[in-house]
């Protein structure tokens, strides 16, 4: 019995030095494990006179229970300490303190995108999603840019190891959308595009476009002009004139560059339009028969127009932003200076 008391005293001393889980494990082995001190004592049971066996047994059980509960307490202590450590090492933000910071707002690109989507929805277009990682086929072949076509050089492309590409233009979704809906079709598809550009004040490697397609019987350039004028008049909140100049894109025939009458000086000539009264805005054209065919649409029956509006540029005009890199910078101070008209 004295031995039991001794073991308890030793155990308490040992336990007071334990300060982690591993220590607790070895403590258990030393006392309650297969060759632990308490287990050894139990083995001595056979040498105890019969009349004392009962009380010895009970004492040993008590000792075991006592050690077990001491260990449990230690374990709880560790768990508590772990939480306390985390609390001590975490910087808490008090969400109830009123902020002296400016409220956040939507990004200029998002604001413009939503505005454009609303306008096109009101004109009966659907809004489609494009993918940022595209097959080479969809990005090039399906829009009439076969392998080795020089037009591929116009778009310095990020190729992935698996042969796919980061889409260089929203036109990459044309084929999928034609196959999905067939003709007639009126859709826009905004999205992020990527090109390996040298960065400067007006070039970015990541930029936003919004592609539009209208395919139906008897669609002509007149429809293209009408929809573009309507859209731009809505964006700028005043009458905007457009003019078309010839432009080459393999997926349209004829292809155009669409200019808008300068919204800043109403075409009179100013710094922004370099005194010409016009600003180059958006390439467009009548969808090439090959493109319709690859999309499963019969070019004998249907025609259509398409446009690819780089709306980083439109956003810069709409918000008076002079640096294209600002749009991707996440620089709240600079972005919040963008004037929302
Ligand atoms: N995908 C062209 C580009 O990013 C832009 C474009 C031009 C789109 C003419 C069109 C179009 O739909 O008709 O360079």
Domain boundaries, the chain: 2-88, 108-335
The C-alpha atoms of residue 285 and residue 254 are separated, in whole angstroms, by 6
Spacing of C-alpha 91 from chain mean position = 27
User: What confidence score (pLDDT) does residue 91 get?
Assistant: 86
Ligand 1, pocket-test mutation among 304, 308, 311, most atoms within 8 A of CB: 308
Specify the pLDDT at position 338: 63
Which pLDDT belongs to residue 339? 55
- Spatial CB neighbours of 259, under 8 Å, sequence gap ≥ 6: 242, 243, 244, 245, 278, 279, 280, 281
How many Å lie between the centroid of ligand 1 and the Cα of residue 335? Answer: 28
In angstroms, the CA 54 to CA 48 distance is 10
Residue with structure tokens 């009966």? Answer: 124
Residue whose CA lies nearest to ligand 1 atom number 13? 284
pLDDT at 341: 44
| Residue indicated by tokens 């905004």 | 190
Q: Could you tell me the distance, in angstroms and rounded to a whole number, from the CA of residue 211 to the centre of ligand 1?
A: 8
Per-residue pLDDT, 211 = 96
The pLDDT score that the predictor gives to residue 334 is 72
Residues with CB under 6 A from ligand 1: 169, 171, 211, 249, 252, 255, 283-285, 306-308
CA-CA distance, 260 to 307, in Å (whole number)? Answer: 14
- Closest residue CA from atom 5 of ligand 1: 308
Nearest CA to ligand 1 atom 3: 169
Which atom number of ligand 1 is nearest to the Cα of residue 168?
Answer: 4
| Segments in the chain below pLDDT 50 | 341
Mean pLDDT over each residue of the chain, to the nearest integer: 90
Ligand 1 nearest atom to the CA of residue 212, by list position: 12
Q: Measuring CA to CA, which residue among 92, 112, 143, 123 is closest to residue 310? A: 112
Locus of tokens 């116009």: 154
Nearest to 75 by CA among 38, 30, 8, 28: 28
Contact 311, 109 (CB under 8 A): yes
Residue 20 burial by Cβ neighbours in a 10 Å radius (0-12, 13-18, 19+): exposed
Give the percent of the chain with pLDDT over 70.
97
Q: If you take atom 9 of ligand 1, which residue's CA is the nearest one?
A: 284
The span from the CA of 296 to the CA of 180, in Å, is 10
Strand order in the sheet with 185-194: 126-127, 185-194, 206-216, 303-310, 278-287, 252-261, 242-246
The pLDDT score that the predictor gives to residue 164 is: 96
Output the CA 319–ligand 1 centroid distance in Å. Answer: 23
Measured distance CA(25)–CA(8) in Å, rounded: 17
CATH topology assigned to domain 108-335? BirA Bifunctional Protein; domain 2 (3.30.930)
Task: Retrieve residue 18's tokens.
Answer: 């334990």
Ligand 1 centroid, distance to 169 Cα (angstroms): 7
What span, in angstroms and rounded, lies between the C-alpha atoms of 212 and 188? Answer: 4
Ligand 1 atom 4 nearest Cα: 169
Spell out the residues 6+ positions from residue 138 whose beta carbon is closer than 8 angstroms to its own.
167, 172, 173, 175, 176
CA of 54 to the centre of ligand 1 (A): 95
Atom of ligand 1 nearest to the CA of 211: 12
Distance between Cα 53 and ligand 1 center (Å): 96
What is the per-residue pLDDT for 324?
Answer: 72
């Amino acid at each position: 019995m004295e031995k039991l008391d001794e073991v308890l005293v030793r155990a308490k001393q040992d336990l007071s030095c334990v300060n982690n889980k591993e220590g607790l494990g070895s403590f258990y082995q030393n006392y309650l494990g297969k060759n632990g001190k308490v287990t050894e004592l139990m083995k001595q049971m056979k040498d105890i006179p019969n009349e004392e066996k009962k009380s010895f047994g009970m004492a040993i059980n008590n000792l075991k229970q006592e050690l077990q509960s001491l260990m449990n307490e230690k374990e709880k202590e560790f768990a508590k300490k772990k939480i306390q450590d985390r609390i001590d090492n975490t910087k808490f933000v008090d969400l109830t303190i009123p902020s002296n910071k400016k409220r956040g707002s939507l990004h200029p690109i998002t604001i413009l995108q939503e505005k454009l989507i609303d306008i096109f929805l009101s004109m009966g277009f659907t809004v489609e999603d494009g993918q940022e990682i595209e097959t080479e086929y969809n990005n090039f072949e399906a829009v009439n840019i076969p392998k080795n076509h020089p037009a591929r050089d116009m778009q310095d492309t990020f190729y992935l190891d698996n042969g796919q590409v980061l889409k260089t233009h929203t036109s990459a979704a044309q084929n999928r959308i034609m196959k999905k809906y067939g003709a007639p079709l009126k859709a826009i598809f905004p999205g992020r595009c990527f090109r390996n550009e040298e960065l400067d004040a007006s070039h970015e490697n990541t930029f936003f476009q919004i592609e539009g397609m209208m395919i139906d019987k008897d669609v002509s350039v007149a429809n293209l002009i009408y929809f573009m004028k309507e859209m731009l008049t809505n964006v700028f909140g005043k009458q905007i004139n457009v003019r078309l100049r010839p432009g080459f894109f393999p997926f349209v025939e004829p292809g155009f560059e669409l200019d808008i009458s300068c919204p800043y000086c109403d075409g009179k000539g100013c710094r922004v339009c370099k005194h010409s009264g016009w600003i180059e805005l958006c390439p467009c054209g009548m969808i090439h028969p090959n493109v319709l065919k690859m999309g499963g649409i019969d070019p004998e029956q249907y025609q259509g127009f398409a446009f690819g509006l780089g709306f980083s540029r439109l956003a810069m005009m709409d918000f008076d932003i002079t640096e294209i890199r600002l749009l991707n910078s996440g620089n709240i101070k600079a972005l919040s200076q963008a004037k929302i008209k």
